[in-house]
Amino acid sequence: MTPGPLTDADFVQLRRNRLEDPAALGRTLAERARRPVVRGDGRLLIVAADHPARGALGIGSDPMAMADRYDLLQRMATALSRPGVDGVLGTPDIVDDLALLGLLDDKIVVGSMNRGGLRGASFEMDDRYTAYDVPSMIRDGLDFAKVLVRIDLDDPRTVATLEATARAVDAAAAARLPIMLEPFLSRRVDGKVVNDLSADAVIASIAIAAGLGNSSAYTWMKLPVVDDMERVMAATTLPTLLLGGEPAGDPDEAMATWRSTLAMPGVQGLTIGRSLLYPHDGDVAAAVDAAADLVHG
């Protein structure tokens, strides 16, 4: 089907396939029309939807904003129907739904790998690999991998996450599968995990993450936009996508910041989820179009 508004009939068929013909998913993924990761202007706009698997359902004042799967899929369908959207980032449940709905042809599909550090949990910094692994992404014909690399220097469990991430980078490089690392220096403040978004901290996180694994040939960075981005981008030669984060503040100001950062060497595009799927005014298509204009315009 052509990406666009979903109907009740689409969801009926989705549920029927999941109940009666689970093998349909493998057939659908095998027949999916794929595209090169880098083509045309070399820029990418990826819509992210891997937050729910970490228990991160809230946006703004609504703690359950992403809880309705049908609403989320409808928003994803709208986003994927817009020109300039190159792909989607998700956990297997999201990607499988989108595949069965016929929404992934000619899109880059990015598999989210470590979702074990649940938001608000005592073990939140234990970012175990509980979603995709490299063999399953190769099996399903996915195009890209993504991992979260939170580094807490006061938490001894961080070293296990770093080792597991290094092995994921090894496996991706061996399979020639691009893999984006999303690094942060993090710490607990009043029991809550907080990412340090100072330029120095982001630079340090890049240095640590970029050195993981036995090859960096297929490694990309996924970085926040912070003050002094010129220094941040000078810290790496790796292709970089900017992340969006939770919608906050003035959306026009956010767009202006993304625009200036996208002009920097090494920045190849945006990987944004909640800011596009749940914009302040509710207009998903307009939010996506504005982001696509920033990336490809």
Domain total in the chain: 1
Domain presence at residue 1: no
- pLDDT, averaged across the chain: 95
Note down the domain range covering 47.
8-296
pTM for this entry? 0.95
Domain presence at residue 261: yes
Do 108 and 144 touch, CB atoms closer than 8 A? Answer: yes
pLDDT at 249: 66
Domain presence at residue 227: yes
Domain presence at residue 137: yes
pLDDT at 253: 81
Domain presence at residue 2: no
Backbone angles phi, psi at 199, to 5 degrees: -60, -40
Read off the tokens for 112: 């989210």
pLDDT at 245: 66
Spatial separation of the C-alpha atoms in residues 82 and 101, rounded to whole Å: 16
CATH of the domain at 265: 3.20.20.70
Rounded to 10 degrees, the C-alpha dihedral 167/246/258/95 comes to 50
pLDDT at 3: 53
Domain presence at residue 3: no
Q: What is the pLDDT along the chain (297 residues), one digit of tens a residue?
A: 445 689 999 999 999 999 999 999 999 999 999 999 999 999 999 999 999 999 999 998 899 999 999 999 999 999 999 999 999 999 999 999 999 999 999 999 999 999 999 999 999 999 999 999 999 999 999 999 999 999 999 999 999 999 999 999 999 999 999 999 999 999 999 989 999 999 999 999 999 999 999 999 999 999 999 999 999 999 999 999 999 866 666 777 888 889 999 999 999 999 999 999 999 999 999 999 999 999 998
Domain presence at residue 232: yes
Spatial separation of the C-alpha atoms in residues 124 and 194, rounded to whole Å: 11
